[in-house]
Structure 1
Amino acid sequence: MNIIPFQHLCCPLDGLPLALADRSWRCSAGHCYDSARQGYTHLLPVQNKRSKDPGDSKDMVAARQRFLNGGYYRPIAEAVSRQVLADDPQDLPLACLDAGSGEGYYLRQLAETEGDGTLALMGLDISKWAVLAAAKQDRRVCWVVGSNANLPVASDSLDRLLCLFGFPVYDEFARVLKPGGKLIQVDAGADHLRQLREIVYPSLKPRDQGQKPVPPGFERLTSETVRFELALQEPEAIADLLAMTPHLYRASAEGRTRAAGLKTLTVTVEVVVQSFGRITGSH
């Protein structure tokens, strides 16, 4: 794919367009945001932070980076890329935001997809550690520290928006997507990581196996279940899988001890990849 600069950033304080000059993003009202030398921009005002260091920790990001770079979730990345590029007009660039991009694995896989299309990519996460890790691995993407609750992106500017295992804010998603733009959402299925969850929890709560409701402002386009068995042959990979999920922090001390004793583990990966089209006039 041909990757071009992302041009649709706006000021998180007043919503005015941001323009880049001398490694600083500025709006016409005079607000200025410096780009870090590592290749990312911090667009999360301090008043919008709920804690001093929000989002995933440095250790959680490192575990996710090791695990995903091992290729274990490649089938999910391929399904996401197919949805992004479906109905892609080859003569126009697609502006795509990953809202909750983590350390950037899915955008990197999208950028490496074979084809003649043109993409303008932005990855946003509330964790500065995640954005820093992403920027260190790929400078072609516009990496931003920010919040899904107040996306620093111009209204009606995006062709695609990804929300992968994340925290959707549908009114904001509808605002930044063009009419007819596509939201691609990935959620855990009923059996996702069941074997691991059976080890770390004394009992499992039943998960909803039906489709999620269509979010306001959207219409459902497609729904695909991606399911496969994953054989982990190294204790380090098992530890990373647990550390990159909320289960590490929700499990009891006994559950974490049982997981730490595993040498190998075969788990079911099951996710639902859904796409929704933004309805004209929905915001």
Structure 2
Amino acid sequence: MTITAFDALACPLDGAALQRESGSWRCASGHNFDVARQGYVHLLPVQKKRSLDPGDSKVMVAARQRFLEAGYYQPIAEAVSRATLDDAPASTTLSCLDAGCGEGYYLRQLAWAAGDERSLALLGLDISKWAVLAAAREDKRPSWVVGSNANLPVLPGSLDRILCLFGFPVYPEFGRVLKPGGKLIQVDAGQDHLRELREIIYPEIRSESKKVTPAPEGFRRVASEDVRFSLHLAGAEPIADLLAMTPHFYRANAEGRERAAALNSLSLTVDVCLHTFERVAEGD
């Protein structure tokens, strides 16, 4: 197995190709982006930010890192890795972006799953500098970038795979940077996902039928897979970490968060749907 850094990066200001020059990335127009000592590069221009410190906070990132490294979502990681590597030729290097990579757990799992027969060129991107910093500290091999899915700093048609896991897909951008025949692996929460936790923190929860995500424009559906399993959390810390790493922490009122904080154990349903979409060539 060979894990390398994906290097077909684009300037976030003018879209030109970036070239690595010692400790920075530079485009032909002279825009320069320094590589932090931890190994990541910041490609989110200030004019593209909606806040001073967008994305997950340092506390949220630490909670997610503890929870995921404990293996609670391992079945999801395994399903994502299978879908990503499916039909990938062993003789070529597969270029893969995790769009909303967080602290890099799923890319690290993918690298492990690739084994000795496949080579991967990996890029992890997140709008949270704290997430990217944590990812870069864990694994120096991929490229790690602070950036936005709405303006991916990636050259057109340069990726074989994109992962978007519990994230914010921007399909026109995904279509722009994927090669024809490249695949988008998308994971969305199902109707029963963490239902037991939601029943505790909210006064009431809506019961909706599971919606089938339509294929985005420029893509065709290849496969869909439900990943469903039970999970038991023993102790207050993993329960607190799970709540902190989800949007429910901010959506719940103070009373709901207090009810969750009082728990010492919790049995949960994990219910997600994994969609695989293929980028179709123009005219197909």
Partner of 1:81: 81
Q: Could you tell me how far 1:214 is from its partner in structure 2? A: 1.1
Partner of 1:184: 185
Please list, as runs of the form range in 1=range in 2, the aligned pairs for 1:113-262 lying within 5 A after superposition.
113=113, 114-262=115-263
Q: Could you tell me how far 1:208 is from its partner in structure 2? A: 4.2
Q: Could you tell me how far 1:112 is from its partner in structure 2? A: 1.0
Partner of 1:112: helix, strand, or coil? Answer: helix
Hey, what's the Cα distance between the residues in 2 that align with 1:98 and 1:50?
Answer: 21
Q: Deviations over 1:125-152 (max 9, x none)?
A: 0000000011010101100000000000
Hey, what's the Cα distance between the residues in 1 that align with 2:125 and 2:208?
Answer: 28
Q: Could you tell me how far 1:118 is from its partner in structure 2? A: 0.5
**TM-score normalised to the size of structure 2?**
0.98
Task: Report the residue type matching 2:4 in the other structure.
Answer: I
Please list, as runs of the form range in 1=range in 2, the aligned pairs for 1:9-20 lying within 5 A after superposition.
9-20=9-20
Q: Could you tell me how far 1:235 is from its partner in structure 2? A: 0.9
Hey, what's the Cα distance between the residues in 2 that align with 1:186 and 1:26?
Answer: 34
Contact 2:7 2:143 in 1 (8 A): no
Please list, as runs of the form range in 1=range in 2, the aligned pairs for 1:25-104 lying within 5 A after superposition.
25-104=25-104
Q: Could you tell me how far 1:234 is from its partner in structure 2? A: 1.4
Q: Could you tell me how far 1:213 is from its partner in structure 2? A: 1.2
Partner of 1:206: helix, strand, or coil? Answer: coil
**TM-score normalised to the size of structure 1?**
0.98
Task: Report the residue type matching 1:74 in the other structure.
Answer: Q
Contact 2:136 2:144 in 1 (8 A): yes
Q: Deviations over 1:77-114 (max 9, x none)?
A: 00000011000111110110000001100001001112
- Counterparts in 2 of 1:265 and 1:147: CA distance versus 1, 3 Å: same
Q: Could you tell me how far 1:211 is from its partner in structure 2? A: 1.1
Hey, what's the Cα distance between the residues in 1 that align with 2:207 and 2:147?
Answer: 33
Task: Report the residue type matching 1:93 in the other structure.
Answer: T
Task: Report the residue type matching 1:116 in the other structure.
Answer: E
Hey, what's the Cα distance between the residues in 1 that align with 2:208 and 2:39?
Answer: 39
Hey, what's the Cα distance between the residues in 2 that align with 1:253 and 1:48?
Answer: 32
Q: Deviations over 1:221-268 (max 9, x none)?
A: 000000000010111000000000000111011111110000000000
Task: Report the residue type matching 2:73 in the other structure.
Answer: Y
Hey, what's the Cα distance between the residues in 1 that align with 2:141 and 2:76?
Answer: 22
Hey, what's the Cα distance between the residues in 1 that align with 2:249 and 2:33?
Answer: 35
Moved over 6 A (4+): none
Hey, what's the Cα distance between the residues in 2 that align with 1:82 and 1:152?
Answer: 26
Worse-matched range after superposition: 209-218 or 168-177:
209-218
Partner of 2:150: helix, strand, or coil? Answer: helix
Contact 2:16 2:27 in 1 (8 A): yes
Contact 2:83 2:185 in 1 (8 A): yes
Hey, what's the Cα distance between the residues in 1 that align with 2:237 and 2:35?
Answer: 35
Count of paired positions: 283
Hey, what's the Cα distance between the residues in 1 that align with 2:209 and 2:222?
Answer: 20
Hey, what's the Cα distance between the residues in 1 that align with 2:220 and 2:10?
Answer: 27
Task: Report the residue type matching 2:268 in the other structure.
Answer: V
Hey, what's the Cα distance between the residues in 2 that align with 1:148 and 1:207?
Answer: 28
Q: Could you tell me how far 1:115 is from its partner in structure 2? A: 3.8
Partner of 1:160: helix, strand, or coil? Answer: strand
Q: Deviations over 1:183-231 (max 9, x none)?
A: 0000001100000000000000224403111111100000000000001
Task: Mark the runs of 5 or more structure 2 residues left unpaired by the alignment.
Answer: none
Task: Report the residue type matching 1:18 in the other structure.
Answer: L
Hey, what's the Cα distance between the residues in 1 that align with 2:244 and 2:60?
Answer: 6
Hey, what's the Cα distance between the residues in 1 that align with 2:198 and 2:126?
Answer: 26
Hey, what's the Cα distance between the residues in 2 that align with 1:141 and 1:156?
Answer: 19
Hey, what's the Cα distance between the residues in 1 that align with 2:31 and 2:211?
Answer: 46
